[in-house]
Amino acid sequence: MPNTSMQQTSTATSAKEARRRSGLVRQAFRFVVLNLKILRLTRQHH
């Protein structure tokens, strides 16, 4: 008989980990965007 409880826990942990990683991936993308926005500011003529 398959151990559904353990499978469910494992699935929940994997889902949480996947969400955490996609959050980090999104933040990495935002990190690049923020750097570019600031670099653009430094090139202004004043």
Partner 1 sequence: MARIVVLGAGVAGHTAAMHAKRRLGRAHEVIVVSPNANWNWIPSNIWVGVGKMTAKQVTFPLAPVYKRLGIEYHQAKAVGLLPEGDATDATGAVDIEYTDADRRGQPARLRYDYLINATGPKLRFDLTPGLGPDGHSVSVCTSGHATQASAALDEVIARMKAGRRQTLVVGMGHGACTCEGAAFEYVFNVDHVLREQGVRELADVIYLTNEHELGDFGVGGMVFSQKSGQVTSEQWMQSLFTERGIRVILQAHVTEVAEGVVHYEQIDGTVAQQAFDFAMLLPPFRGVALPTVDRAGTDIADKLFAANGFMKVDADYAAKPYEEWSAKDWPRTYESPVFPNVFAVGIAFAPPHAISRPYQTPSGAPVAPAPPRTGMPSGTQGKVVAQTVVDRIKHNNPTAPARTASMTAMGAACIASIGAGLRTGAAATITMSPIVPDREHFPETGRDPKSTFGEIGLAGHWLKRLLHTLFIYKAKARPGWWLIPE
* Contacting residues toward partner 1, per CB under 8 A: 23-24, 27-28, 30-31, 33-35, 37-42, 44-46
Nearest approach, Cβ of residue 13 and partner 1 (Å): 17
Compute the distance between CA of residue 30 and CA of residue 2 in angstroms, rounded to an integer.
42
Between the two ends of the chain, the Cα-to-Cα distance in Å is 73
Residue 8 or residue 27: which is nearer to partner 1 going by CB?
Answer: 27
Instruction: CB nearer to partner 1: give 7 or 17.
Output: 17
Query: Least distance to partner 1 from the beta carbon of 44, Å?
Result: 6
Six-digit token string for 24: 């980090």
